[in-house]
């Protein structure tokens, strides 16, 4: 089980009231165990991994590789299929630059959905410029869920080579039916990449069950440190990909005129990695295991239903994305109040939120809104915080009348 008091930052007071942190989709808070683990590394065994024959290096290499085992178990993969990156963004770019540049040709189609984060759009647009590939977007239905009929049609087009899609949007918070999409894609030999940056903070993610070829996420959104993330890749695909960055750890041997490539997963981990981040991420995963997915899911469902009822019930607020499989992530449009004003003023009251397009400009254009106010909750949030938010929203409404 988990306790709110596991997260030291949440004890902070603003205007005499404890911090209301409603910006978990941007980055989640860190429990004491993660902070301690990172500190312990720097205090007790800081040294470089895989390199030196000394006792500190032995400890750190062991911890680093244990972290890989922890991650592999967490998403049900083999350890060789886990590549540590800087985050979800780097994982997608790695796939685009290596698998993409090697396998895509002018006229090939990459299918995305319209709700993608810029991190899962721009790398493909870069390939569009470089290689002349085409990009198609799966549209949405009224309630914010994917239009599966349109998706099926798009995936049946002849030159589709890749489906790159998020499991849940950071704006609409709706779980996408990826198993179905991926099974359709596999029937056509379309390679699949899952952006699990958001979903992995809300539900267990299993790469074998999803049957995807690639999956990415960031440590900082699952209560771990910033600057660390994971790329999962199906082993035989990773083996056939060229390396991404060149440098230490990714090589076997280096000669004046040539080099050999190290085995998986090191092939894709050039340079000194974010050691503290990796060790901290493993600690965050152990925290999740202890907290228990079941408990997390139950609490989030409670928060989600309560928010929909209380905030969704306000006449002057419109919540975007109302499909049932909804995480406690709410993008809102408020009558006559610009999201920036709302986020700014609520922030001074100690309610931490985000306003803007949340790195999803194509989605905002598609929904014909220029910006939204977003509340993204995690299991440590409470219904009392939602009540406080409603009260402050009502005051805001009055002031702007």
Report if residue 395 touches other proteins, rule: CB under 8 A. yes
Q: Please check whether residue 163 is in contact with residue 185, taking contact to mean a CB–CB distance below 8 angstroms.
A: yes
C-alpha 295 chain-centroid distance: 21
CB-nearer residue toward other proteins: 168 or 343 = 343
Is 149 exposed, middle or buried (CB count within 10 Å of its CB: 0-12, 13-18, 19+)?
exposed
The correct pick among 93, 170, 192, 378 for binding ligand PLP (CB under 6 A) is 170
CA distances to 116, 203, 291, 381, 396 from 306, rounded to whole Å, are 27, 19, 22, 12, 21
Report if residue 335 touches other proteins, rule: CB under 8 A. no
**Partner whose footprint covers residue 88, from other proteins, ligand PLP, none (CB < 5 to 8 Å by kind):** ligand PLP
Q: Please check whether residue 261 is in contact with residue 267, taking contact to mean a CB–CB distance below 8 angstroms.
A: yes
Residue 350 CB, shortest distance to ligand PLP, in Å, is: 23
CB-nearer residue toward other proteins: 285 or 355 = 355
Long-range contacts of residues 241-244, Cβ cutoff 8 Å, at least 24 apart: 241/98, 241/99, 241/102, 242/98, 242/102, 243/98, 243/267, 243/268, 243/270, 244/94, 244/97, 244/98, 244/268, 244/270
**Partner whose footprint covers residue 147, from other proteins, ligand PLP, none (CB < 5 to 8 Å by kind):** none
DSSP H stretches of helix in 188-261 = 207-210, 235-239
**Partner whose footprint covers residue 294, from other proteins, ligand PLP, none (CB < 5 to 8 Å by kind):** none
Report if residue 228 touches ligand PLP, rule: CB under 6 A. no
Q: Please state whether 59 falls in left (phi above 0), alpha (psi between -120 and 50) or beta.
A: alpha
CB-nearer residue toward ligand PLP: 182 or 393 = 182
Angle at 230 between CA 225 and CA 235, to 5 degrees: 160
Q: Tokens 């704006």 correspond to what residue?
A: 171
Closest CA to 116 of 153, 182, 162, 170: 170
CB-nearer residue toward ligand PLP: 172 or 250 = 172
Is 100 exposed, middle or buried (CB count within 10 Å of its CB: 0-12, 13-18, 19+)?
buried
Find the binding residues for ligand PLP in span 106-165 (CB under 6 A): 117, 119-120
DSSP H stretches of helix in 77-200 = 88-95, 101-103, 122-131, 148-155, 178-187
Query: Total residues at the site for ligand PLP (CB under 6 A)?
Result: 13
Encoded one letter per residue, x for contact with ligand PLP by CB under 6 A and - for no contact, window 63-92 reads ------------------------xxx---
DSSP assigned state of 23: B
Stretch that binds other proteins, among 131-139, 141-149, 301-309, 335-343 (CB under 8 A): 335-343
CA distance 183 to 180: 5
**Partner whose footprint covers residue 170, from other proteins, ligand PLP, none (CB < 5 to 8 Å by kind):** ligand PLP
Report if residue 24 touches ligand PLP, rule: CB under 6 A. no
Residue 372 CB, shortest distance to other proteins, in Å, is: 10
Report if residue 197 touches ligand PLP, rule: CB under 6 A. yes
Give the DSSP per-residue string, 102-133.
HH--TT-EEEEETT--GGGTHHHHHHHHHH--
Report if residue 17 touches other proteins, rule: CB under 8 A. no
Find the binding residues for ligand PLP in span 354-393 (CB under 6 A): 359
Q: Is 212 a residue of the active site?
A: no
Encoded one letter per residue, x for contact with other proteins by CB under 8 A and - for no contact, window 338-357 reads xxxx--xx--x------xxx
Report if residue 118 touches other proteins, rule: CB under 8 A. no
CB-nearer residue toward other proteins: 240 or 370 = 370
Find the binding residues for other proteins in span 258-277 (CB under 8 A): none
Report if residue 218 touches ligand PLP, rule: CB under 6 A. yes
Q: Tokens 């002031």 correspond to what residue?
A: 399
Residue 347 CB, shortest distance to other proteins, in Å, is: 8
Report if residue 166 touches ligand PLP, rule: CB under 6 A. yes
H/E stretch holding 372: strand 372-376
The correct pick among 18, 226, 361, 383 for binding other proteins (CB under 8 A) is 361
Question: Which residue of the set 331, 359, 375, 377 is catalytic?
Answer: 359
Catalytic positions, please? 359
Query: What is the contact surface with ligand PLP in residues (CB under 6 A)?
Result: 87-89, 117, 119-120, 166, 170, 195, 197-198, 218, 359
């Amino acid at each position: 089980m988990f306790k709110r008091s596991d997260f030291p930052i949440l004890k902070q007071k603003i205007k005499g009231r404890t911090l209301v942190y409603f910006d978990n989709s941007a980055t989640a808070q860190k429990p004491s165990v993660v902070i301690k683990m990172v500190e312990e590394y720097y205090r007790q065994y800081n040294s470089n991994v895989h390199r030196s024959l000394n006792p500190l290096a032995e400890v750190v290499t062991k911890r680093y590789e244990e972290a890989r085992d922890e991650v592999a178990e967490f998403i049900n993969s083999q350890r060789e299929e886990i590549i540590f990156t800087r985050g979800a963004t780097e994982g997608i770019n790695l796939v685009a630059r290596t698998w993409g540049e090697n396998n895509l040709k002018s006229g090939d189609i990459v299918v995305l959905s319209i709700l993608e984060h810029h991190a899962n759009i721009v790398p493909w647009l870069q390939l569009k410029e470089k290689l002349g590939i085409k990009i198609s977007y799966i549209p949405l239905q009224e309630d914010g869920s994917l239009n599966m009929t349109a998706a099926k049609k798009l995936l049946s087009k002849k030159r589709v080579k890749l489906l790159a899609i998020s499991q849940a949007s950071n704006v609409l918070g709706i779980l996408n039916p990826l198993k179905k999409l991926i099974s359709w894609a596999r029937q056509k030999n379309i390679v699949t990449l899952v952006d699990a940056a958001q979903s992995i903070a809300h539900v267990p993610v299993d790469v074998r069950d999803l049957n995807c070829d690639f999956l990415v996420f960031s440590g900082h959104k699952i209560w771990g440190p910033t600057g660390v993330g994971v790329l999962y890749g199906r082993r035989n695909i990773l083996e056939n990909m060229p390396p991404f960055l060149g440098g230490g750890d990714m090589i076997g041997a280096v000669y004046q005129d040539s080099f050999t490539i190290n085995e998986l997963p090191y092939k894709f981990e050039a340079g000194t990695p974010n050691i503290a981040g990796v060790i901290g991420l493993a600690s965050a995963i152990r925290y999740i295991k202890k907290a228990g997915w079941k408990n997390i899911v139950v609490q989030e469902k409670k928060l989600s239903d309560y928010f929909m009822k209380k905030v969704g019930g306000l006449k002057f607020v419109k919540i975007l994305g109302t499909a049932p499989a909804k995480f406690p992530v709410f993008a809102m449009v408020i009558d006559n109040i610009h999201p920036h004003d709302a986020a700014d003023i609520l922030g001074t009251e100690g309610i931490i939120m985000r306003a803007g397009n949340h790195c999803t400009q194509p989605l905002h254009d598609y929904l014909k809104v220029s910006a939204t106010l977003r509340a993204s909750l995690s299991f440590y949030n409470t219904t009392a915080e939602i009540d406080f938010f409603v009260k402050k929203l009502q005051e805001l409404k009055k002031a702007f009348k």
